[in-house]
Protein backbone atom coordinates (compact mmCIF):
# COMPACT_ATOMS: atom_id res chain seq x y z
CA UNK A 1 0.00 0.00 0.00
CA UNK A 2 1.29 3.47 -0.93
CA UNK A 3 1.02 5.86 2.02
CA UNK A 4 -0.11 9.49 1.45
CA UNK A 5 3.05 11.56 1.78
CA UNK A 6 1.31 14.24 3.86
CA UNK A 7 1.13 11.79 6.76
CA UNK A 8 4.94 11.67 6.87
CA UNK A 9 6.10 15.16 5.96
CA UNK A 10 7.02 16.19 9.51
CA UNK A 11 8.24 12.77 10.61
CA UNK A 12 12.06 12.39 10.72
CA UNK A 13 11.60 8.77 9.69
CA UNK A 14 10.73 9.98 6.19
CA UNK A 15 14.15 11.60 5.68
CA UNK A 16 15.80 8.46 7.04
CA UNK A 17 13.82 6.33 4.59
CA UNK A 18 14.70 8.60 1.66
CA UNK A 19 18.39 8.43 2.61
CA UNK A 20 18.66 4.75 3.42
CA UNK A 21 15.59 2.87 2.15
CA UNK A 22 15.67 0.64 -0.91
CA UNK A 23 14.48 2.54 -3.98
CA UNK A 24 12.21 0.58 -6.32
CA UNK A 25 11.80 2.23 -9.71
CA UNK A 26 8.21 2.27 -10.98
CA UNK A 27 8.75 4.32 -14.13
CA UNK A 28 10.18 7.41 -15.74
CA UNK A 29 8.48 10.82 -15.93
CA UNK A 30 8.59 11.36 -19.67
CA UNK A 31 7.84 15.11 -19.55
CA UNK A 32 11.06 15.88 -17.62
CA UNK A 33 14.07 17.14 -19.58
CA UNK A 34 16.47 15.14 -17.37
CA UNK A 35 16.12 11.53 -16.22
CA UNK A 36 13.47 11.62 -13.49
CA UNK A 37 12.41 8.30 -12.02
CA UNK A 38 9.31 7.67 -9.93
CA UNK A 39 10.18 5.27 -7.13
CA UNK A 40 8.80 3.81 -3.95
CA UNK A 41 10.71 3.57 -0.69
CA UNK A 42 9.64 1.74 2.47
CA UNK A 43 9.00 3.67 5.67
CA UNK A 44 8.59 1.65 8.84
CA UNK A 45 8.79 -1.78 7.28
CA UNK A 46 6.31 -2.43 4.47
CA UNK A 47 4.63 0.98 4.39
CA UNK A 48 5.63 2.62 1.09
CA UNK A 49 5.79 6.23 -0.04
CA UNK A 50 6.46 7.61 -3.51
CA UNK A 51 9.57 9.61 -4.25
CA UNK A 52 11.40 11.10 -7.24
CA UNK A 53 14.98 10.06 -7.96
CA UNK A 54 17.13 12.10 -10.35
CA UNK A 55 20.49 10.43 -11.04
CA UNK A 56 23.47 12.57 -11.99
CA UNK A 57 24.05 10.24 -14.94
CA UNK A 58 20.72 11.36 -16.40
CA UNK A 59 21.42 15.09 -16.31
CA UNK A 60 21.43 16.78 -19.71
CA UNK A 61 24.49 19.06 -20.12
CA UNK A 62 23.67 22.79 -20.17
CA UNK A 63 25.83 25.55 -21.61
CA UNK A 64 25.29 27.88 -18.64
CA UNK A 65 25.51 25.47 -15.67
CA UNK A 66 28.47 23.27 -14.68
CA UNK A 67 27.99 19.61 -15.60
CA UNK A 68 26.71 17.17 -12.99
CA UNK A 69 25.58 19.88 -10.55
CA UNK A 70 21.82 20.06 -11.07
CA UNK A 71 20.90 17.54 -8.38
CA UNK A 72 23.11 19.29 -5.85
CA UNK A 73 21.30 22.56 -6.59
CA UNK A 74 18.06 20.78 -5.65
CA UNK A 75 19.66 19.91 -2.30
CA UNK A 76 20.74 23.52 -1.83
CA UNK A 77 17.16 24.69 -2.44
CA UNK A 78 15.81 22.22 0.12
CA UNK A 79 18.42 23.19 2.71
CA UNK A 80 17.69 26.88 2.23
CA UNK A 81 13.90 26.45 2.35
CA UNK A 82 14.25 24.38 5.52
CA UNK A 83 16.59 26.88 7.19
CA UNK A 84 14.19 29.74 6.43
CA UNK A 85 11.40 27.77 8.09
CA UNK A 86 9.32 28.07 4.92
CA UNK A 87 9.37 24.35 4.05
CA UNK A 88 8.44 25.03 0.42
CA UNK A 89 10.59 22.24 -1.03
CA UNK A 90 9.56 18.62 -0.33
CA UNK A 91 11.98 16.59 1.82
CA UNK A 92 15.07 16.00 -0.33
CA UNK A 93 18.22 13.94 0.25
CA UNK A 94 21.35 12.89 -1.61
CA UNK A 95 21.80 9.21 -2.50
CA UNK A 96 25.16 7.74 -3.47
CA UNK A 97 23.63 4.29 -3.92
CA UNK A 98 20.66 4.92 -6.21
CA UNK A 99 19.70 2.36 -8.88
CA UNK A 100 21.42 4.50 -11.54
CA UNK A 101 24.17 5.90 -9.35
CA UNK A 102 24.46 9.06 -7.25
CA UNK A 103 21.62 11.56 -7.36
CA UNK A 104 18.93 13.40 -5.47
CA UNK A 105 15.84 11.78 -3.99
CA UNK A 106 12.76 13.84 -3.13
CA UNK A 107 9.42 13.03 -1.56
CA UNK A 108 6.60 12.95 -4.11
CA UNK A 109 3.71 15.36 -3.53
CA UNK A 110 0.24 14.47 -4.82
CA UNK A 111 -1.25 17.49 -6.55
CA UNK A 112 -4.82 18.59 -5.91
CA UNK A 113 -7.06 18.50 -8.97
CA UNK A 114 -9.46 21.08 -7.56
CA UNK A 115 -7.47 24.32 -7.31
CA UNK A 116 -4.75 26.17 -9.20
CA UNK A 117 -2.69 29.16 -8.08
CA UNK A 118 -1.28 29.97 -11.53
CA UNK A 119 -3.41 30.13 -14.66
CA UNK A 120 -3.60 31.13 -18.31
CA UNK A 121 -7.10 32.35 -19.17
CA UNK A 122 -9.02 34.98 -21.07
CA UNK A 123 -9.06 38.49 -19.55
CA UNK A 124 -12.73 38.10 -18.66
CA UNK A 125 -12.09 34.90 -16.70
CA UNK A 126 -9.52 36.31 -14.25
CA UNK A 127 -10.42 35.46 -10.66
CA UNK A 128 -11.04 38.46 -8.36
CA UNK A 129 -7.87 39.38 -6.51
CA UNK A 130 -5.52 37.57 -8.88
CA UNK A 131 -2.39 39.31 -10.16
CA UNK A 132 -1.51 39.96 -13.79
CA UNK A 133 1.86 38.76 -15.08
CA UNK A 134 1.57 39.29 -18.84
CA UNK A 135 -0.78 39.58 -21.80
CA UNK A 136 -0.61 37.03 -24.62
CA UNK A 137 -2.56 35.61 -27.56
CA UNK A 138 -3.56 32.13 -28.63
CA UNK A 139 -2.85 30.78 -32.12
CA UNK A 140 -6.00 32.44 -33.44
CA UNK A 141 -5.05 35.84 -32.04
CA UNK A 142 -7.52 35.76 -29.15
CA UNK A 143 -6.37 37.58 -26.00
CA UNK A 144 -5.04 35.60 -23.03
CA UNK A 145 -3.42 36.55 -19.75
CA UNK A 146 -0.97 34.82 -17.43
CA UNK A 147 -2.07 35.37 -13.83
CA UNK A 148 -1.40 34.02 -10.36
CA UNK A 149 -3.17 34.10 -7.02
CA UNK A 150 -2.43 36.82 -4.48
CA UNK A 151 -1.50 34.54 -1.56
CA UNK A 152 1.02 35.06 1.22
CA UNK A 153 2.55 31.62 0.69
CA UNK A 154 2.92 32.24 -3.05
CA UNK A 155 4.50 35.63 -2.27
CA UNK A 156 7.04 33.68 -0.23
CA UNK A 157 7.74 31.47 -3.26
CA UNK A 158 8.43 34.58 -5.36
CA UNK A 159 10.93 35.80 -2.75
CA UNK A 160 12.52 32.35 -2.61
CA UNK A 161 12.96 32.35 -6.38
CA UNK A 162 14.55 35.81 -6.28
CA UNK A 163 16.99 34.60 -3.61
CA UNK A 164 17.87 31.36 -5.40
CA UNK A 165 17.99 32.98 -8.86
CA UNK A 166 15.60 30.35 -10.16
CA UNK A 167 15.87 30.18 -13.95
CA UNK A 168 12.81 27.98 -14.48
CA UNK A 169 9.81 28.66 -12.23
CA UNK A 170 7.12 27.22 -14.47
CA UNK A 171 3.49 27.02 -13.37
CA UNK A 172 3.76 23.25 -13.08
CA UNK A 173 6.63 23.61 -10.60
CA UNK A 174 4.27 25.04 -7.99
CA UNK A 175 2.10 22.28 -6.54
CA UNK A 176 -0.97 22.70 -4.39
CA UNK A 177 -1.71 19.58 -2.34
CA UNK A 178 -5.04 18.34 -1.00
CA UNK A 179 -4.55 20.40 2.18
CA UNK A 180 -4.19 23.66 0.16
CA UNK A 181 -0.48 23.79 0.92
CA UNK A 182 1.99 25.04 -1.66
CA UNK A 183 5.09 23.04 -2.60
CA UNK A 184 7.86 23.95 -5.03
CA UNK A 185 9.83 21.47 -7.13
CA UNK A 186 12.52 21.42 -9.87
CA UNK A 187 15.29 23.72 -8.64
CA UNK A 188 18.09 22.18 -10.70
CA UNK A 189 18.73 25.40 -12.63
CA UNK A 190 19.02 27.74 -9.65
CA UNK A 191 21.91 29.55 -7.93
CA UNK A 192 23.69 30.63 -11.10
CA UNK A 193 26.29 33.39 -10.68
CA UNK A 194 24.62 35.32 -13.52
CA UNK A 195 21.17 36.86 -13.26
CA UNK A 196 18.83 34.27 -14.76
CA UNK A 197 15.58 34.75 -12.84
CA UNK A 198 12.73 33.43 -14.98
CA UNK A 199 9.38 32.92 -13.33
CA UNK A 200 5.62 33.02 -13.77
CA UNK A 201 5.34 34.93 -10.45
CA UNK A 202 6.09 38.48 -11.58
CA UNK A 203 2.85 39.88 -10.15
CA UNK A 204 4.75 41.38 -7.19
CA UNK A 205 7.60 42.89 -9.26
CA UNK A 206 8.70 46.16 -7.69
CA UNK A 207 6.41 45.74 -4.68
CA UNK A 208 7.43 45.54 -1.03
CA UNK A 209 8.40 42.16 0.38
CA UNK A 210 6.22 41.13 3.32
CA UNK A 211 7.76 42.07 6.68
CA UNK A 212 7.73 38.50 7.97
CA UNK A 213 9.57 37.32 4.85
CA UNK A 214 12.26 39.98 5.32
CA UNK A 215 12.61 38.97 8.98
CA UNK A 216 13.19 35.36 7.94
CA UNK A 217 15.82 36.45 5.42
CA UNK A 218 17.63 38.48 8.07
CA UNK A 219 17.58 35.50 10.45
CA UNK A 220 19.66 33.30 8.12
CA UNK A 221 22.12 35.90 6.81
CA UNK A 222 25.01 34.90 9.07
CA UNK A 223 24.40 31.19 8.40
CA UNK A 224 23.93 31.26 4.65
CA UNK A 225 27.41 30.01 3.78
CA UNK A 226 27.07 27.11 6.23
CA UNK A 227 23.65 26.19 4.77
CA UNK A 228 24.82 26.13 1.14
CA UNK A 229 28.45 25.06 1.44
CA UNK A 230 27.82 21.30 1.01
CA UNK A 231 26.07 21.80 -2.32
CA UNK A 232 27.31 24.89 -4.19
CA UNK A 233 30.58 26.31 -5.49
CA UNK A 234 32.13 29.16 -3.43
CA UNK A 235 31.39 31.80 -6.07
CA UNK A 236 27.74 30.71 -6.21
CA UNK A 237 27.45 31.12 -2.44
CA UNK A 238 28.98 34.60 -2.59
CA UNK A 239 26.49 35.74 -5.23
CA UNK A 240 23.61 34.25 -3.22
CA UNK A 241 24.81 36.21 -0.19
CA UNK A 242 24.76 39.36 -2.32
CA UNK A 243 21.20 38.65 -3.48
CA UNK A 244 20.12 38.06 0.11
CA UNK A 245 21.64 41.36 1.24
CA UNK A 246 19.96 43.19 -1.66
CA UNK A 247 16.53 41.77 -0.83
CA UNK A 248 16.96 42.75 2.83
CA UNK A 249 18.23 46.26 2.10
CA UNK A 250 15.69 47.15 -0.60
CA UNK A 251 12.78 45.20 0.88
CA UNK A 252 11.49 45.00 -2.68
CA UNK A 253 10.78 42.24 -5.16
CA UNK A 254 13.01 42.48 -8.27
CA UNK A 255 11.87 43.57 -11.70
CA UNK A 256 12.41 41.36 -14.75
CA UNK A 257 15.81 41.81 -16.38
CA UNK A 258 15.81 43.13 -19.95
CA UNK A 259 18.88 40.97 -20.65
CA UNK A 260 17.20 37.59 -20.12
CA UNK A 261 13.76 36.13 -21.00
CA UNK A 262 11.65 36.89 -17.94
CA UNK A 263 9.13 34.07 -18.25
CA UNK A 264 10.05 30.41 -18.88
CA UNK A 265 8.67 28.63 -21.93
CA UNK A 266 6.45 26.76 -21.88
CA UNK A 267 4.86 28.43 -18.86
CA UNK A 268 3.50 25.02 -17.72
Is position 199 within any domain? Answer: no
The answer to whether the CB of 23 falls within 8 A of the CB of 99 is: yes
Question: Which domain, by its residues, includes 81?
Answer: 5-107
Q: What is the number of domains present in the chain?
A: 1
What pLDDT is recorded for position 162?
98
What CA–CA distance (Å, rounded) separates 130 from 176? 16
What pLDDT is recorded for position 8?
64
Is position 63 within any domain? Answer: yes
- Closest residue by Cα to residue 103 from 65, 40, 67, 57: 57
Question: Residues 6 or more apart from 180 whose CB is under 8 A from it?
Answer: 112, 115
DSSP 73-123: HHHHHHHHHHHHT---SPPEEEESS-TTSSEEEEE--PPPSS--SEEEE-G
What pLDDT is recorded for position 48?
86
Mean pLDDT of all residues belonging to the chain:
92
* Over residues 255-267, mean pLDDT: 86
Is position 98 within any domain? Answer: yes
What CA–CA distance (Å, rounded) separates 249 from 150? 24
The answer to whether the CB of 2 falls within 8 A of the CB of 49 is: yes
- Closest residue by Cα to residue 159 from 231, 242, 79, 86: 86
Using the Cα atoms of residue 78, residue 79, residue 82 and residue 84 in order, give the sign of their dihedral.
negative
Q: What are phi and psi of 120, to 5 degrees?
A: -115, 125
What pLDDT is recorded for position 250?
97
- Closest residue by Cα to residue 265 from 56, 33, 30: 33
Percent residues over pLDDT 90 in the chain: 75
The answer to whether the CB of 92 falls within 8 A of the CB of 75 is: yes
pLDDT per position as a tens digit, 6-61: 666 667 888 999 999 999 999 888 777 788 999 999 987 768 889 999 999 999 99
Is position 55 within any domain? Answer: yes
pTM of the prediction?
Answer: 0.93
DSSP 2-29: BPPGGGTTT-HHHHHHHHHSPPEEEEE-
Is position 144 within any domain? Answer: no
What pLDDT is recorded for position 26?
92
Is position 78 within any domain? Answer: yes
Is position 218 within any domain? Answer: no
Amino acid sequence: MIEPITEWLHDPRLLTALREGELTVEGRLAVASNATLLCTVPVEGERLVHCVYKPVAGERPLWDFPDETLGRRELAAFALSDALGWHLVPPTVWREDGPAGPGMCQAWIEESDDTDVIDVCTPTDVHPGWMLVMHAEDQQGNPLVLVHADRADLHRVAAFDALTNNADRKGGHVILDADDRIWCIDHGVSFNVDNKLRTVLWGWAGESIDDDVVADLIAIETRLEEILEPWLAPEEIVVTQQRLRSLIETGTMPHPSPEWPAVPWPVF
